[in-house]
Every structure is written in structure tokens, then in C-alpha cells.
């Protein structure tokens, strides 16, 4: 292993280490460790984002470069403010955005969900950057802007703060579980209204049923068989109303 020292006042400095690679990696590329290895890297994508390692840099600006002596190698920095390739695949990138891997190999994008990130953007992605077309998982072709911006590199796991909403977190989580997706506030509010109305109707029927039964027995003790029959019928009606209410709630959550 060789150690090279280089200090330049005007240059951005960092500590880097060389890794073996079979790919041609551009400076600023976001890279991940290859599965089941500790010294081989590949360009980062959505598929290997959990193995995010750092950014490909120029060893000449490194205050310390740790080399493995491998012929096909790339210098990777895991900290410092570095120029990183990013795109607007997930929306415009501005300072303060968390940067993660994108569908394009080696190119980052703004993180919008819980995911491993390479660092925090320190500048905005220019709209005048180069444009590139890529094919997404659905087969659709999309044109995106790609450029380099300074990123404060610090690989970590990003937890997205929940969006502010009038819906309590417990109800939001329950709605998401029932629908199997993230549900917006409007369907949840409609579902809550349906639930409340259903409960009011059911409680009213049960109250009326119990009250009328007590009154009927008090007036005519011999009418018990008729009262039991009415109770069974009203109980069936209550179950039907509950079923309709629950089905309506499910349809609102999943279809809206």
C-alpha cells in the first residue's frame, strides 16, 4: 500500500481510498460497494443504494490517498465537500436537499423517501446542464438534466419527515395499511365521515331496538317471541349497515 500526500491551498481537499472496479467511472460519480466485497466498487443505482460508499474523485487533490496497487482502480472519497454528478429525475435539486442514487448509473438525485444518501447538496443544479434521455422501469423514455454540484458527503440513512397534515399520524398509518399505499388527506376525511355516520346510524338503531323491547315487554309480557324476532331482524340490519359502511370506506381509500 502506498500513501501519497498532496496539499494545495486553493483546492478542495479530502481523504480518499482506491478501490478496484471493472467499470469506467467519471469524476463525481456516486459509487457503491459491490455485493459481498469490501474493495470493489460499481456505479450506484436504485438497485444497490443500500451499499452506497462515496464519490469518485481526483487523487491529486487528496490530502491522503490510500492505494491498493490495483491496475483498474478509482479513488473514492467518503467525506468532504465534493463535486457530485446529480440529475433532476426526482425534481429540481437545490441546496439542502439530500442526495441519493438514481436510476442512471453513477448519477445522484434528490431523495424524497426513506433511503440511504450520499450527502447534502450545497448548491443548486443549473437548468443549463447537459440533457440525457433514459428509460424508466415502465419503458417510458424521459429527458433529464445532469450536472455537477457541491455536496457535503456523509453517507447515512435519510428519514423523510412526514408531510404536515390535519390527519393524525395514527389514522394516517391505519389508512395507508388498509389501502396498501400512501393515502392523501381528502379520502381519509371522507372515510372518517362515513365511519361516524355509520356508527351514529347503528347506535340509533340499537338504542331504539332496546328501548322498544323494554317498553313492549312491560306492556305485554306475552309478546316476547315477537320481540325476539324483531331483535334478530334489526341485528341483521345493523350488520348490513356496518358492512356497507366498511366497504364504502375501503373503496374511498383505494380508489381516490
39-85 tens-digit pLDDT: 899 999 999 999 999 999 987 665 444 445 445 888 999 999 999 99
The torsion angles phi and psi of 31, rounded to 5 degrees, stand at -125, 155
Q: Exposed, middle or buried by CB within 10 Å (0-12, 13-18, 19+), for 148?
A: middle
CA distances from 19 to 65, 66, 120, 156 (A): 11, 9, 23, 20
222-242 tens-digit pLDDT: 666 777 777 788 888 889 999
pTM summary value? 0.59
| pLDDT range class, residue 209, cuts 50, 70, 90 | confident
Amino acid at each position: 500500500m502506498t500513501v501519497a500526500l498532496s496539499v494545495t491551498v486553493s483546492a478542495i481537499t479530502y481523504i480518499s481510498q482506491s478501490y478496484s472496479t471493472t467499470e469506467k467511472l467519471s469524476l463525481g460519480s456516486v459509487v457503491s460497494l459491490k455485493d459481498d466485497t469490501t474493495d470493489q466498487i460499481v456505479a450506484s443505482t436504485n438497485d444497490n443504494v443500500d451499499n452506497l460508499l462515496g464519490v469518485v474523485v481526483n487523487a491529486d487533490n487528496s490530502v491522503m490517498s490510500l492505494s491498493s496497487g490495483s491496475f483498474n482502480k478509482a479513488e473514492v472519497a467518503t467525506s468532504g465537500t465534493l463535486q457530485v454528478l446529480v440529475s433532476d429525475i426526482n425534481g429540481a435539486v437545490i441546496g439542502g436537499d439530500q442526495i441519493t442514487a438514481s436510476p442512471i448509473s453513477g448519477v445522484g438525485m434528490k431523495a424524497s423517501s426513506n433511503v440511504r444518501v450520499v450527502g447534502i447538496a450545497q448548491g443548486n443544479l443549473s437548468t443549463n446542464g447537459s440533457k440525457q434521455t433514459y428509460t424508466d422501469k415502465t419503458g417510458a423514455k424521459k429527458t433529464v438534466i445532469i450536472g455537477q454540484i457541491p455536496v457535503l458527503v456523509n453517507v447515512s440513512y435519510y428519514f423523510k419527515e412526514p408531510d404536515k397534515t390535519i390527519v393524525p399520524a395514527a389514522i394516517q398509518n391505519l389508512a395507508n395499511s388498509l389501502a396498501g399505499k400512501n393515502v392523501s388527506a381528502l379520502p381519509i376525511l371522507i372515510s372518517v365521515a362515513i365511519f361516524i355516520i355509520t356508527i351514529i346510524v347503528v347506535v340509533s338503531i340499537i338504542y331504539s331496538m332496546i328501548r322498544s323491547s323494554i317498553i313492549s315487554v312491560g306492556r305485554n309480557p306475552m309478546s316476547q317471541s315477537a320481540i325476539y324476532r324483531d331483535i334478530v331482524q334489526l341485528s341483521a340490519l345493523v350488520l348490513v349497515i356496518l358492512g356497507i359502511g366498511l366497504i364504502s370506506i375501503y373503496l374511498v381509500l383505494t380508489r381516490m
